[in-house]
Amino acid sequence: MTTIRHYIAGEETGDAARTAPVYDPATGEAAKQVVLADAAQVEQAIAAAKAALPAWRATGLVRRADVFFRLRQLLVERKDELAAIITSEHGKVLSDAAGEISRGLENVEFAAGLVHLLKGEHSEQVARGVDVHSVKQPVGVVAAITPFNFPLMVPLWMTASAIACGNTVVLKPSEKDPSAAVAIAKLYEEAGLPAGVLNVVQGDKVAVDTLLDSPDVRAVSFVGSTPVARSIYERASAAGKRVQALGGAKNHMVVMPDADLEGAADAAVSAAYGSAGERCMAVSVLVAVGEATADALVTKVAERMRALVIGPGTDPASEMGPLITREHRDKVASYVAGAAAEGATVVVDGTEAEFAGDGFFLGTSLVDHVRPGMKVYDEEIFGPVLSVVRVASYEEAVALINANPFANGTAIFTRDGRTARSFEVDIEVGMVGVNVPIPVPIGAYSFGGWRNSLFGDSHIYGPESVHFYTRSKVVTSRWPEPSESQIDLGFPSNH
């Protein structure tokens, strides 16, 4: 059986005293196992990052940028190999895995512009003979704790920005699909990154708690569920660390009566069921404005759902693969099973779909007449279940979304520019799409939600990541003439 280990200071390491199975979701078989770190192994990774920090921080910006240019090329060259690793442990179809790599590449490209991104400011002659300038300096050793649903993209989002800013990193990937993180670390070093700048520690809560409590870890980036994000934010910030913790989502897609309903139905199916719904930006609630709109949409979405091909991610014919674990599949299925009892209408029941073998497959589900207060609406399902909420007006749709505790992403489908612009202004959500169902920003912007979808004040990747992974220092300087008096007991003034 293949054993996936830690990657510390340029070497794979870690005994198998404590392990967890790594499943192929398409077959249900545990073909691999991953070593779970104890506190001492995590401290070893932190020590390696701390030791590598002075030299990497002192590395010239152009030299750092060269690493990212080479890393980008390696990611492009190894795209098929990396996609296969993702599919084998996550289950998503190969085309989706390739798309994940492409989105990760965007932040690598952004990080390659670090010479520009790390520029400070300068003000000359703020007072007679006095100049002021600012600089951006790395925070130190940072921890990156990443989720199972994007085992390559999210690590690239975090590590590229952190490393470009001169920090060193301890990456703790999900133990459900851990191989991609080690592959990334090796590609970084092949691109020229010194050993120890990026370390991978495999593990569970033991590893996370050690990272959160270590005084040598100065900042923590996390993506996962809201309860865990809140806990990590509270624990790490109480220890004086800088924290960005991205939590869960309940993304609504509003469809106005004037929208292109064929296009809206296509978008809803793509955004709800891609990657088996295991995306924090997946559309999970379709908000139909008007009964006629709702009736037409439900019919059109159901027609498209029945044509979807569900199968192993390695099969080119498959459009959707299995879920990550058997337990998660069963939990998602329970929401569908309980929806009717709460008063909803199960239009398409994916739990009735039958699949050969022991893979963690689940059919797609469509649930109509859903309302707040129902479990299928209130909770993040993170699976191939789309709920339909019927509202009478634009105002009711906005009020519904703004009242939801999650505020990661949302979208509106309309042909009317005034309605679209009003939505941009009125909606209280971090990422907004206009006729775009999954509004994930390009790498030059930043990703993140509001309310219970984000704990901390910085979004991930892009410009806000530069702010998160650096500390600003302001220097005021004066070079007096040799004969000038240096004694002044008054309060410093720029006048």
Helix (H) or strand (E) holding 50: helix 39-58
For the residues 143-159, what does the mean pLDDT come to? 96
Instruction: Provide the pLDDT confidence category of residue 442 given band limits of 50, 70 and 90.
Output: confident
Question: Where in the chain do CATH 3.40.309.10 domains reside?
Answer: 251-434
For the residues 446-471, what does the mean pLDDT come to? 91
The Cβ of residue 31 has, within 10 Å, a number of other Cβ atoms equal to: 13
pLDDT score, position 485: 61
For the residues 160-176, what does the mean pLDDT come to? 97
The distance from CA 157 to its chain's CA centroid, rounded to whole angstroms, is: 8
pLDDT averaged over the chain?
Answer: 94
3-state helix, strand, coil in the chain (%, to 5): 40, 25, 35
CB 220 within 8 A of CB 172: no
pLDDT score, position 307: 93
Instruction: Provide the pLDDT confidence category of residue 17 given band limits of 50, 70 and 90.
Output: confident
Residue 165 is a catalytic residue: no
Could you name the CATH architecture of 2-247+453-475?
A: 3-Layer(aba) Sandwich (3.40)
Sheet holding 29-35, edge to edge: 2-4, 29-35, 19-24
CB 184 within 8 A of CB 34: no
Is pLDDT of 230 > 70?
yes
For the residues 165-190, what does the mean pLDDT come to? 97
Instruction: List, in order, residues 6 or more apart from 381 with CB less than 8 Å away.
Output: 277, 284, 332, 335
pLDDT score, position 98: 96
pLDDT score, position 494: 59
pLDDT score, position 156: 97
pLDDT score, position 52: 98
> Can you tell me the distance from the alpha carbon of 268 to that of 370, in angstroms, rounded to the nearest whole number?
16
Instruction: Provide the pLDDT confidence category of residue 486 given band limits of 50, 70 and 90.
Output: low
Question: Where in the chain do CATH 3.40.605.10 domains reside?
Answer: 2-247+453-475
Q: In terms of C-beta density within 10 A (0-12 exposed, 13-18 middle, 19 or more buried), how is residue 197 classed? A: buried
Question: What amino acid occupies position 366?
Answer: L
For the residues 128-143, what does the mean pLDDT come to? 95
For the residues 140-167, what does the mean pLDDT come to? 97
For the residues 369-389, what does the mean pLDDT come to? 96
Strands 385-391 and 409-413: unpaired
Written as six digits, the tokens of 261 are 């309903």
Q: What is the pLDDT of residues 45-83, one digit of tens each?
A: 999 999 999 999 999 999 999 999 999 999 999 999 999
Instruction: Flag whether the pTM goes above 0.95.
Output: no
In the CATH scheme, what is the code of domain 251-434?
3.40.309.10
Instruction: List, in order, residues 6 or more apart from 475 with CB less than 8 Å away.
Output: 132, 133, 134, 135
Tokens 């990760």 correspond to: 104
Written as six digits, the tokens of 308 are 């979807």
The single-letter DSSP state of residue 447 is: B
> Can you tell me the distance from the alpha carbon of 495 to that of 486, in angstroms, rounded to the nearest whole number?
17
Q: In terms of C-beta density within 10 A (0-12 exposed, 13-18 middle, 19 or more buried), how is residue 194 classed? A: middle
For the residues 124-144, what does the mean pLDDT come to? 94
pLDDT score, position 472: 94
Torsion of CA 448, 450, 456, 461, to 10 degrees: 10
pLDDT score, position 492: 67
Q: Alpha carbon of 458 to those of 100, 449, 468: distances in Å?
A: 22, 10, 6
pLDDT score, position 80: 96
The single-letter DSSP state of residue 442 is: P
Question: What amino acid occupies position 321?
Answer: G
pLDDT score, position 15: 83
pLDDT score, position 285: 97
The residue from 170, 197, 207, 280 that is catalytic is 280
pLDDT score, position 480: 81
